[in-house]
């Protein structure tokens, strides 16, 4: 994959570059962990390098305490594509770095966080050979 990664990295999915919806090759460049909200609930942030169109792209997976989360399913899907397990994202996030996969990008509805503008985020995680 492309190694000259000069594009600025988005701070979150709401600041991702606007891309046409579709399938993209992607390389994971980092996995970060943080908290959000008053209850300091956990989220994971996956940063991808998309060699075509040469941009960074971010998705966040949110894990609210005591509630089922679509993010649990999304993390499982991402890990299956890479032959990893979800706990690897916490215990050894560096094991994701440099791994290649494909993602589908979709335009999401506007939110108050995005200033009323739609934004792009990862819809599906797919193995690199798809």
Within a domain: residue 4? no
pLDDT at 2: 43
Nearest partner of 33 among 83, 107, 87, judged by Cα? 87
Within a domain: residue 77? yes
pTM: 0.89
| Residues of the chain with confidence (pLDDT) below 70 | 1-4, 130
Within a domain: residue 119? yes
Which strands sit side by side in the sheet containing 41-50, from one edge to the other?
55-63, 41-50, 22-36, 100-108, 119-126
Within a domain: residue 13? no
pLDDT at 42: 94
Q: Report the CATH number that the domain containing residue 103 is assigned in CATH.
A: 2.40.50
What's the domain count of the chain? 1
Tell me which residue range forms the domain holding 70.
18-126
Within a domain: residue 3? no
Within a domain: residue 12? no
Within a domain: residue 80? yes
**CA–CA dist 17, 12 (Å, integer):** 10
Within a domain: residue 63? yes
């Amino acid at each position: 994959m492309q190694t000259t990664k000069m594009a600025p990295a988005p701070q979150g999915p709401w600041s991702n570059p606007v891309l046409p919806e579709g399938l993209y090759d992607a390389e994971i460049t980092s996995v970060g962990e943080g908290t959000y909200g008053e209850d300091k609930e956990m989220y994971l942030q996956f940063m991808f390098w998309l060699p075509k169109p040469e941009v960074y792209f971010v998705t966040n997976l949110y894990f609210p305490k005591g509630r089922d989360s679509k993010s649990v399913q999304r993390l499982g899907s991402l890990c299956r594509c890479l032959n990893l397990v979800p706990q690897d994202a916490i215990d050894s996030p560096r094991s994701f770095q440099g791994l290649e996969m494909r993602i589908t990008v979709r335009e999401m509805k506007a939110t108050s966080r995005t200033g009323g503008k739609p934004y792009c985020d990862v819809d599906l995680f797919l193995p690199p050979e798809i």
